[in-house]
Amino acid sequence: MSTLITGASTGIGRATALRLAQRGERVFAGVRNPQDGAALVQAGGEKITALELDVTQPSAIESARGQIEASLGTTQLTGLVNNAGIVVAGPLEIISDEDLRRQFDVNFFGAMAVTRAFLPLLRASRGRIVNLSSIAGKVSVPFNGAYSASKFALEAASDALRLELFPMGIHVSLIEPGQIATPIWQRAGDAARTAFEKAPPEKFALYREAMEHFASLANAGANQRLSADRVAAVIERALFERNPRARYLIGRDARFMLPIARLPEPLRDRLFRRVFKLKGA
């Protein structure tokens, strides 16, 4: 059995690649940096094959598919883990069109492009697709709207795929963790601060106080974030357990947020205005 994992350089993707290799599975690990791929192979051994794969580049996806087809021989690709993702944070008024498009290019359009490219191989094996979503794909909070929008889209597409591919024997599962202790959030914070500092002074002033409070809330919960290994264990379940679920919710914060996502909008808005200290005009 073999699995392709995108975004395997760090965090959840890397932890999943190592976990699957340890159980004896063949792993194709998509990375953007060859050095990250070499380090992953060194850590995981001969069961891991690193591939340079930028999910936003059609030529890179086609190249990866060709390499995997050539490498598989008589075996089959039985799993696809769409893990590659980025976080673009900040007020939607300030986020640039370029950054907003990149948020969707990686988290949504990239996942869909990789899925389409590898469906013929997965159809042959009656394989499984695991899409990395987030509790942010269920509920959107201030200054996280771009990221949530990309995950809402991935959730909707996954629901459709799950039904469309059922007659072909392909299972589709969503992983919905809370915040994870991975480099993605540090990079997102740095990018948000840079974008915020470049904003016109009048817009900076409009959001400064609320953004500072948002940052303090995020930092306060940093020590409670889930480990990448814990999420990798759930991905393993989705790939191999006999009856995979449609969704796997992971983490205390995710379980706390799900009921909030189902509240009537007036109640939910009132709660978030209080938590994020958003004062009325």
Task: Tell me the catalytic residues.
Answer: 147
User: What are 248-251's contacts with CB under 8 Å, separation 24+?
Assistant: 248/173, 248/174, 248/175, 248/176, 249/135, 249/176, 249/177, 250/175, 250/176, 250/177, 250/178, 250/226, 251/135, 251/177, 251/178, 251/179, 251/226
Q: Which strands form 171-177's sheet, in the order they lie side by side?
A: 48-52, 26-31, 2-5, 79-82, 128-132, 171-177, 247-250
Q: Which two tokens stand for residue 77?
A: 């690709």
Q: How far is CA 133 from the centre of its chain?
A: 5
* Angle (deg, nearest 10), helices 145-164 and 97-104: 30
Helix (H, G, I), strand (E, B) or coil at 172: strand
Nearest to 276 by CA among 231, 214, 187, 191: 214
- Residue 77 near residue 119 (C-beta atoms within 8 A): no
